[in-house]
Structure formats: C-alpha cells, structure tokens
Amino acid sequence: MRSIYLDHAATTPVREEVIEAMVKVLRENYGNPSSIHQFGRPSRKLIEEAREKVAKAINADPREIIFVGSGTEADNLAILGSARANKKKGNHLITTSVEHHAVLDAFKALEKEGFEVTYLPVDGEGRISVADFKNALRDNTILVSVMHANNEVGTIMPVEEIGAICREKKILFHVDAVQAVGKIPVDVTQINCDFLALSGHKIYGPKGIGVLYMRRGVRTQPLYHGGGQERKLRPGTENVPNIVGLGVAIELAVAEMETESPRLAKLRDKLIDGVLSTIPETRLNGPREGRLPHNANISIVYVEGEALLLTCDMKGMSCSSGSACTSGSLDPSHVLMAMGLSHTIAHGSLRLSLGHSTTEDDIDYIIRELKPIADRLRAMSPVWENFQKGLPIA
C-alpha cells in the first residue's frame, strides 16, 4: 500500500541536515550555556549562531529573538505577558475568530482577568476586513493579535495593513506566523509587528522548540520564573540541540522557499482542480488566491469527516480535517463555522497539506482514490440520500 503524508500543516519530518546538526551537539556540546568555562562557552556560541539565523530569516535583530518551547508558548508569552504588563494603559484587546487555539484560549484566559476582547469576524474565505478592524479600535485598546496565515484553510491575512495602523496608534501587535514562516516571505519590519511567533516542527525542524520575536523596547512579563535566560523571559536551561536544529531548519527553509513554494502551489492547484472536477458537491474552503502554497482544504459534502479521514488513511493517504491540536474533538472546525459554513459542509472537510516529499504522482493518486471513497461513504449516508431525493437538509 502507498504511504503519502498529507499533513505537513500539523507537523513535518525532521530534515537529515537538522538531525545531523542536533546529533553532533548531543555528542559534543553538553556544557550548560550559562557556564563560563570551556564546556559552557561552545554551547552559548551555538545558541547565538542559531539566534542570528532566525533573525536573518525574518529580518529582525538577533537581540529580538527569544527561544521558547513551542509556538503555543510564544503566543502565550506575547499575549498574556504584554496584556498584563500594559493593563494600566487599557483593558481592550482585539483578535480574530479564526485564530489557532493557542491564541484564542489565551484571550479567553484574559477575559477571566477582566480584559475585554473583540473577536473580529471573517468573510466566506476566512479573511478579516480592515474596515471591521478600524471600527473595533477603542481609546483603551492595548493589544491586537492577527495570524499571518490560517492553519486550517491557508488564508493569508492583511497583517501589513493591520500592523501599519497599530504602529500609528501605538497599539501592540502580535502575529502568529507559525504556518507562514518558510512558506511565504515573513518580514517583521514590513509587518510592523511587536511580537511574532514561529515553531520549529512546522519547517522540518524538531518539536519542542519555538521562537518569540519581540521588538526592542516592548514590555511584557514572563509566564514563569526561576532563571535569567532569554532576557529573563524564558527561564530554564536552554535546549541547545533543538535550538541548533531550528537554526538549521529555518535557514534551509528560507533559502529554498523561492523554488519550493511555487512547486507546492502548482501541485496544490492541480489537487484542488482534480478533486472539484471529479467529485460532485465539493467546495474549496478558503480563497483561490492569497492562500498558503501547500494548503488545500476541501469539503466533500454529505460525507462524515471522521469516516473520510479513516478511509483515506486505509488507502495510504494521511491527512486531517483541521488543526491537529483539536483533532480529538467531534465538533466542526471553528474556522469553517466562522466562515459561515453549515455543520453539514464543515463536517466533511479535508485538509491536505503538501510538503517536500509530495510528488505529482502522489497528487494523481489522491485525485484517483478520493472519488470512490466519497462514493462509498455517500452510499451509506442518509443525508446524501435525502439530498438526492430533494428533501430538506438540516
């Protein structure tokens, strides 16, 4: 049986170059980076070299790069820390209704602390309106958080326009760029963001390592205490092998982006066109243009999502129905629901995210195999039967 990995938005395999760099560190550089002796100094040097690679990838100053344990931690450090540090200036916050739960749940926690949060709606393609954002601003708004690109439907947000407004009004701006880095250009100076989060395992690096970019002069608070590492914002002995691995991964991802992203976009478009043209009652979720090059999110209507995923897996196609962080939930995607989709359509969504290993032959196989899967599942679906009879669908 074929084995095709189509869940690169959830995580990516670690590149050989990254593994080699990490193994070398594990074998040779065990010294504590905070130690000033001959064993500690090389570890510190490796960290600073990785910091420079990350900074270069997003056009930042190395002193603005903070290593953390994940993209989720980076989001939480930025959102919780900055809101609490600046609460004397105001208590109003703005985000979108389609953020990753790392962001949404952080804002929900702040609501329990007395902050007011505005959740911006999105249109049918998952994009916020700049006009809606302007209308949501208040005199006491202190923080805005908008993702660079959506993790489920791949929609790219107007972060540069939002960032310019925030900078003009001196409002802190946080961007979750976990899905964007390495896929599309990410430049913190063009975005005008004060915080930006990224993660190693989305760009063929190791799990358990993330980055928070924090613009110099911005105030935030640490989430926990116990050491002076990472500008006293992320205490604890640094994970040197993972930091080195992230540095190698992001350097390679940015270097290859100019050729890899167009390759993936071509395969993505072939996949979308093939599925929509061969299977009736399907729809693309998210825009045709202005989406991540590796993301295809398609609803096969009147098919139950979990059965669809399991049947695809039995045919060697490993994909998802949305964020891996909520894959255990039976509820429809909050992103698709925010876009105005019905439960019926949202439940039949399939996220196919491509990567380095994806070939044109893989795309041909997926298009060929998905139709009989959909036909078989629909044959067992009372909802599909009602649709064919012209009966009302809930």
221 is in an annotated binding site: no
Cβ–Cβ under 8 Å, residues 17 and 248: yes
278 is in an annotated binding site: no
Closest of 281, 294, 79, 88 to residue 175, by C-alpha: 79
347 is in an annotated binding site: no
242 is in an annotated binding site: no
200 is in an annotated binding site: yes
How far apart are alpha carbons 354 and 267 in whole angstroms?
8
Task: Please count the residues of the chain.
Answer: 394
334 is in an annotated binding site: no
| Residue among 166, 312, 319, 325 flagged as catalytic | 325
Neighbours of 348 (CB within 10 A): 29
Rounded to 5 degrees, what are φ and ψ at 332?
-65, 160
- Helix or strand (DSSP H, E) at 31: none
Closest of 246, 277, 366 to residue 5, by C-alpha: 366
* Helix runs in the chain, H state only: 16-28, 40-58, 71-85, 101-112, 130-136, 159-168, 188-191, 229-232, 240-278, 305-314, 334-338, 343-347, 360-379, 382-389
- Residues with Cβ within 8 Å of 391's Cβ and at least 6 positions away in sequence, in order, are none
3-state secondary structure of 318: strand
CA dist 97 → 104, 194, 268, 350 (Å): 8, 21, 26, 20
Cβ–Cβ under 8 Å, residues 218 and 195: yes
* Helix runs in 279-394, H state only: 305-314, 334-338, 343-347, 360-379, 382-389
151 is in an annotated binding site: yes
189 is in an annotated binding site: no
179 is in an annotated binding site: yes
Q: Is 319 a catalytic residue?
A: no
Catalytic residues: 325
Q: Which residues are annotated as a binding site for pyridoxal 5'-phosphate?
A: 71-72, 151, 179, 199-201, 237
Annotated binding site: 71-72, 151, 179, 199-201, 237, 325
Q: Where is the binding site for [2Fe-2S] cluster, in residues?
A: 325
